[in-house]
């Protein structure tokens, strides 16, 4: 695949979807950039409107991110209204469809009479293209998209399963280049769903995109060889990554709703010294913590770079607030572009050698 001159990068989170239309040769600051409500927030509003109008709903479309839309469905059911869903859309709520049925959701592919249809998807390229057309902006043919994917886990803890992904990544060498996929693992069902709505898209986890994006800040990049902690305080998830050179040496991940400044400071102080345990975070409702056994702190204080919409948790702690290209909210998009270009450049070089 040739290195593209234009890339549509979308970082799709729980609160916002951050969009960048990257054009080679144009200053990044002049590229089209947007912060819009996330798809799950938009869908949640549609469901809430149906609840207020006392209408049953029929959920169709693709598997997408849950959170707000799932909470809206729960409220809809508690209001005494009915929810119908296709199997594919129902997987948004839980990987075990029997569990979805226990919620009270009826699984069916036939639209029930009188039910208000709501279409699920994380990516709507047609609507985005239509919105940009009056501004003489055409969507690029190359897509790089980030979503958070817990992986397909019908039974057991999906928090454990998600963190197993990070542990396997660290065990395999923690290569930054391996964080973006042209062909994601089959168990990454949300990434697979995104590629149905955006065929040929490169896909990445939102936290991985943030790691790459933080490194686009020149002040952070200058610390990369000696080592640093990249901290992403997202709307729903908090992730810290130990980075040195082109490698991730350690990761911890928690839910931002469980965090406060005191806990965050404690975590970051203990994380690189291995005093923060996997079990401690899991018991607190998070995902886990892991560090490669070969990582050595060498008795020094690590530089900490912070990004994410909830970075106010870290205010006053003396950490560096990263803002690649002057825009913190597009950190994930900048990371997507950098990761994709790096991957394709490496593949092109490898093909040339052969």
**What's the pLDDT tens digit per position in 21-55?**
999 999 999 999 999 999 999 999 999 999 999 99
String of b and e for 135-173 (b: at least 16 CB within 10 Å)?
Answer: eeeebbebbbbbbbbbbbbeeeebbebbbbbbeebbeee
Q: Based on the domain organization, do 169 and 84 belong to the same domain?
A: no
**pLDDT of 2 higher than 70:** yes
In-domain check, residue 194: yes
**Is 304 found in the same domain as 158?**
yes
Both structure tokens of 293: 């056994």
What's the rounded Cα separation, in Å, for the pair 334 and 349?
22
Q: Whole-angstrom distance between the N-terminal and C-terminal Cα of the chain?
A: 15
pTM: 0.93
Range of the domain at 108: 39-120
**Pair (288, 204) in one structural domain:** yes
User: Do 334 and 238 belong together in one domain?
Assistant: yes
- 11, 17 in Cβ contact below 8 A? yes
Decide if 319 contacts 197 (C-beta within 8 A): no
Q: Is position 125 within any domain?
A: no
Q: Does one domain contain both 19 and 46?
A: no
Least confident of 61-75, 286-300, 305-319: 286-300
Residue 300 has pLDDT above 80, yes or no: no
Q: Are residues 115 and 150 in the same domain?
A: no
Does 350 have pLDDT greater than 80?
Answer: no
**Are 238 and 334 within one domain?**
yes
Total domains, the chain = 2
Q: Is residue 140 part of a domain?
A: no
Question: With bands split at pLDDT 50, 70 and 90, how would you rate the model's confidence at 351?
Answer: low
- Among the three residues 70, 85, 120, which one is the final residue of a domain in this structure? 120
Based on its alpha-carbon atoms, the radius of gyration of the chain, rounded to whole angstroms, reads: 21
Q: Which of 216, 215, 211 is nearest to 237 (CA)?
A: 211
pLDDT in tens, 38-47: 999 999 999 9
**Of all helices (H) and strands (E), which one includes residue 102?**
helix 97-103
Local confidence band at 1 (pLDDT 50, 70, 90 cut-offs)? low
Assigned domain for 292 exists: yes
Which residue in 214, 218, 297 sits closest to 250, CA to CA?
Answer: 297
Spatial distance between the Cα atoms of 178 and 37, rounded to a whole number of angstroms: 29
Do residue 205 and residue 85 come from a single domain?
Answer: no
Q: 250: which DSSP letter?
A: E
If asked whether residues 230 and 325 sit together in one domain, one would say: yes
352 confidence band (pLDDT: 50, 70, 90): low
Q: Within a domain: residue 126?
A: no
Percent of the chain past pLDDT 90, that is, above it, reads: 82
Which tokens is 341 given?
A: 């270009």
Q: Within a domain: residue 138?
A: no
Q: Looking at residue 97, which CATH number applies to its domain?
A: 3.40.50
Instruction: Say if residue 110 is in the same domain as residue 165.
Output: no
- DSSP, res 3: P
Q: Is residue 234 part of a domain?
A: yes
Query: DSSP 3-state assignment of 112?
Result: coil
The pLDDT of residue 353 is above 80: no
* Residue 66 and residue 22 share a domain: no
Specify whether 174 is located in the same domain as 323. Answer: yes
């Amino acid at each position: 695949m040739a290195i593209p001159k234009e890339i549509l990068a979308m970082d799709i989170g729980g609160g916002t979807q951050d969009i960048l239309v990257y054009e080679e040769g144009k200053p990044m600051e002049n590229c089209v950039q947007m912060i819009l409500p996330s798809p799950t927030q938009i869908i949640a509003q549609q469901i809430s409107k149906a609840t207020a109008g006392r209408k049953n709903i029929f959920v169709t479309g693709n598997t997408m991110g849950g959170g707000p839309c799932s909470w809206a469905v729960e409220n809809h059911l508690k209001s005494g209204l009915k929810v119908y869903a296709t199997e594919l859309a129902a997987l948004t709520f839980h990987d075990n469809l029997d569990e979805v049925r226990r919620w009270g959701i009826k699984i069916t592919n036939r639209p029930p009479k009188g039910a208000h249809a709501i279409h699920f998807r994380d990516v709507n390229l047609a609507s985005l293209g239509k919105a940009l057309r009056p501004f003489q902006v055409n969507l690029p043919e190359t897509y790089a998209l980030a979503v958070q994917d817990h992986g397909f886990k019908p039974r057991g803890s999906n928090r454990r399963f998600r963190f197993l992904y990070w542990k396997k990544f660290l065990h395999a060498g923690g290569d930054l280049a391996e964080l973006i996929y042209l062909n994601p693992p089959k168990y990454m069902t949300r990434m697979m769903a995104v590629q149905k709505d955006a065929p040929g898209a490169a896909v990445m986890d939102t936290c991985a995109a943030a790691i790459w994006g933080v490194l686009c800040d020149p002040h952070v990049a200058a610390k990369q060889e000696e080592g640093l902690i990249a901290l992403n305080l997202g709307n729903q998830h908090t992730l810290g990554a130990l980075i040195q050179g082109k490698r991730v040496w350690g990761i911890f991940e928690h839910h931002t709703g469980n965090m406060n400044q005191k806990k965050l400071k404690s975590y970051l102080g203990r994380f690189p010294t291995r005093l923060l345990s996997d079990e401690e975070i899991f018991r607190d409702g998070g995902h886990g913590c892991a560090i490669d056994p070969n990582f050595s702190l060498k008795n020094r204080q690590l530089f900490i770079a912070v990004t994410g919409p909830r970075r106010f948790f870290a205010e006053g702690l003396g950490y560096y607030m990263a803002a690649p290209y002057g825009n913190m909210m597009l950190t994930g998009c900048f990371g997507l572009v950098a990761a994709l270009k790096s991957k394709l450049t490496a593949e092109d070089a490898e093909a040339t050698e052969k």
